[in-house]
């Protein structure tokens, strides 16, 4: 989660396209393949399903913050973002976690089969092992509100630079219905196949009227006589 949280914050801190591409390339070059696929999924709108409703998350966040509920609500009103409010109000922790993005998302998905008490225990323990920046990104994932101000084209460009695969081919490969649990990075960057070209749509061109020329249009009789 540390690498992904840093990626999120670094991208959020700059408006320069080249800098964003540089940050993305560094992430692709340093994290495990499974984290690369989960990152691609998140950046292309494939967010994990929310397993805890917002009301429970807020109640437990008040408890973890050790402040009155009214003060939490007032803070939320000022900040305007639940994930950020929770990350700011919770006390700093001396603990840390080496879990990867893949491991955190797997745990979030596994909550579907947990009881409310089990979900609460897991969430309080998770918050306690993350720093403020990590909690902010974690809360975004948890609440289903993850958004990032980076276009898919920039992500594809960075991935193309790292893998050496043409951007149009990568764009095609990350289209459609796939999830990181059943689509590996090796499959994504495999050697180009015939299907990459066959299924790639042709560019669309607008129609324009034929322009008149100074030369007289020949009739059928003129052509026959010639």
pLDDT digits (tens, 9 = 90+) for 119-144: 999 999 999 999 888 999 999 999 88
Does residue 58 sit in the same domain as residue 138?
Answer: yes
The pLDDT assigned to 203 comes to 45
Does residue 128 sit in the same domain as residue 104?
Answer: yes
Which of 84-98, 114-128, 143-157, 183-197 holds the top average pLDDT?
114-128
pLDDT digits (tens, 9 = 90+) for 89-115: 998 887 778 899 999 999 999 999 999
Does residue 91 sit in the same domain as residue 23?
Answer: no
Does residue 37 sit in the same domain as residue 92?
Answer: no
Higher pLDDT, 49 or 55: 55
Which of 54-63, 79-88, 110-119, 194-203 has the lowest average pLDDT?
A: 194-203
Does residue 135 sit in the same domain as residue 170?
Answer: no
Which pTM does this prediction carry? 0.78
Which range of residues forms the domain containing residue 157? 14-47+152-189
Task: Give the total number of structural domains in the chain.
Answer: 2
Q: Per-residue DSSP letters for the chain? A: -HHHHHHHHHHHT---HHHHHHHHHHHHHHS-HHHHHHHHHHHTT-PPPP-S-HHHHHHHHHHHHTS-HHHHHHHHHHH--HHHHHHHHSPP-S------HHHHHHHHHHGGGS-HHHHHHHHHHHHHTS-HHHHHHHHHHHHT----S--HHHHHHHHHHHH---HHHHHHHT-SS--TTT--HHHHTSPP-HHHHHTSPPPP----PPPP-SSPPPPHHHHHH-
Q: Is the pLDDT of residue 206 over 60?
A: no
Does residue 104 sit in the same domain as residue 134?
Answer: yes
Answer whether residue 119 is part of any domain: yes
């Amino acid at each position: 989660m540390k690498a992904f949280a840093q990626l999120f914050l670094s991208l959020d801190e700059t408006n320069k396209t080249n800098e964003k591409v540089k940050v993305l390339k560094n992430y692709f070059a340093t994290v495990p393949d499974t984290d690369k696929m989960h990152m691609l999924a998140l950046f292309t709108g494939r967010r994990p399903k929310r397993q805890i409703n917002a009301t429970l998350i807020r109640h437990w966040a008040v408890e973890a913050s050790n402040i009155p509920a009214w003060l939490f609500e007032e803070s939320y009103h000022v900040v305007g973002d639940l994930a950020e409010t929770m990350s700011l109000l919770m006390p700093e922790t001396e603990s840390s976690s080496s879990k990867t993005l893949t491991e955190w998302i797997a745990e979030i998905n596994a909550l579907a089969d947990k009881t409310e008490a089990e979900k609460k225990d897991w969430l309080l323990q998770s918050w306690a092992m993350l720093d403020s920046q990590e909690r902010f990104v974690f809360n975004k994932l948890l609440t289903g509100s993850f958004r990032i101000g980076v276009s898919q084209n920039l992500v594809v460009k960075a991935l193309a630079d790292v893998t050496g695969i043409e951007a149009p081919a990568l764009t095609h490969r990350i289209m459609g219905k796939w999830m990181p649990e059943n689509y590996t990075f090796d499959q994504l960057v495999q050697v180009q196949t015939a299907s990459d070209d066959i299924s790639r749509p042709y560019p669309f061109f607008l129609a324009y009227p034929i322009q008149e020329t100074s030369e007289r249009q020949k009739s059928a009789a003129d052509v026959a006589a010639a």
